[in-house]
Amino acid sequence: MAGECYPEAEGELDFHHASEHLWTPARDPFKDEESAHDWVGSLLKGVKRRGGSELLPILEGLLEMAEDEWPEEERQVLSRETAYFQKHSSHLYYPKAKRQGFPLGSGVMESACSQLQGRFKRPGQFWGESGEDNLLASELARRNGD
């Protein structure tokens, strides 16, 4: 739906979510926390500075290596997380987002949505469609200083 309504919009994967998805496959093969931290930290630094272009080849290479060396369960985790980054490869343009002044996380947007929903979805509140439209327009005008 977003693609239909906003075809020019560029999606961005929340940096915290990207971090979580890199930590998941690092926990088992790196038996000590320091090695896992170094590996994930280096990947995240690269993604933040240069985008995701280097990440997929690294994960895919690791997956290939893991084929012979890792237990099945760990390979499945790595395979799932590699597929996650393949799916979101066009959403890893953090350097561009930073240059444009966009946040790297979704917290700001989630907070705004939560605040707006709180105005209109509190327990016991019921609005007709026209009343809700008018309230939303008033609230947005207030927030925009209009």
Pair (39, 16) in one structural domain: yes
The pLDDT of residue 86 is 94
| Number of structural domains the chain divides into | 2
- Alpha carbon distance 8, 101 (integer Å): 18
Give pLDDT tens digits for 65-105.
Answer: 888 888 898 899 999 999 999 999 989 989 998 899 888 88
Q: Which domain holds residue 112?
A: 107-143
Q: State the burial class of residue 99 (Cβ atoms within 10 Å of its Cβ: 0-12, 13-18, 19+).
A: exposed
Region of 70 please: left (phi>0), alpha (psi -120 to 50) or beta: beta
Pair (64, 113) in one structural domain: no
Those residues whose C-beta lies under 8 Å from the C-beta of residue 102, and which sit 6 or more positions away, are: 12
Pair (69, 17) in one structural domain: yes
Pair (21, 93) in one structural domain: yes
DSSP line for 20-75: HHHHHHHTTTS-SHHHHHHHHHHHHHHHHHH-STTHHHHHHHHHHHHHHHS-HHHH
Mean pLDDT of the chain: 86
Pair (83, 16) in one structural domain: yes
Pair (48, 86) in one structural domain: yes
The pLDDT of residue 20 is 92
Pair (34, 88) in one structural domain: yes
- Alpha carbon distance 37, 49 (integer Å): 18
Closest alpha carbon to 24 in 75, 60, 91, 90: 75
Pair (82, 111) in one structural domain: no
pLDDT beyond 70 at 5: yes
| Residue predicted with more confidence, 127 or 92 | 92
| Residue predicted with more confidence, 52 or 31 | 52
Pair (92, 115) in one structural domain: no
pLDDT beyond 70 at 48: yes
The pLDDT of residue 133 is 85
The pLDDT of residue 33 is 85
Pair (15, 63) in one structural domain: yes
pLDDT beyond 90 at 135: no
pLDDT beyond 70 at 119: no
